[in-house]
């Protein structure tokens, strides 16, 4: 997949990716998707992608801040890249489609 220019592919939050998959009939939540990615070895138990797969361009992870009523909130945001979507869609579909059969 070296011919895929990752800078031209969109990244989307894992939760939004799960929502798109659900709209396609798979009925998977963001949490279920992350748990499955942990099972596959792509994510750490801390619900963040492993550095190897960030470096390979499957995921992006950032720390963000928001101002709330209790002060500044710090939260992580994991996104799946277009490359990650392409490379993992078959595994994800096969795993979650078994519930439809």
* Token pair belonging to 24: 């396609």
Angle subtended by helix axes 14-23 and 30-40, to nearest 10: 110
Give the separation between CA 101 and CA 99, rounded to whole angstroms.
6
Q: What is the pTM of this model?
A: 0.79
pLDDT tens digits for 30-57? 999 999 999 999 999 988 999 999 999 9
Three-class DSSP category at 62: strand
| Beta-strand runs (E) in the chain | 12-13, 59-68, 71-80
pLDDT tens digits for 76-97? 899 999 999 999 999 999 998 8
Give the separation between CA 33 and CA 28, rounded to whole angstroms.
7
């Amino acid at each position: 997949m070296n011919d895929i220019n990752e800078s031209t592919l969109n990244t989307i939050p894992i939760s939004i990716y799960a929502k798109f998959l659900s709209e396609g009939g798979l009925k998977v939540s963001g949490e279920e998707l992350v748990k499955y990615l942990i099972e596959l070895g792509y994510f750490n138990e801390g619900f963040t992608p492993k550095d190897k797969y960030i470096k390979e361009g499957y995921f992006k992870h950032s720390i963000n801040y928001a101002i709330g009523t209790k002060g500044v909130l710090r939260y992580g945001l994991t996104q799946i890249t277009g490359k990650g979507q392409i490379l993992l869609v078959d595994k994800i579909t096969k795993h979650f489609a078994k519930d439809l059969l």
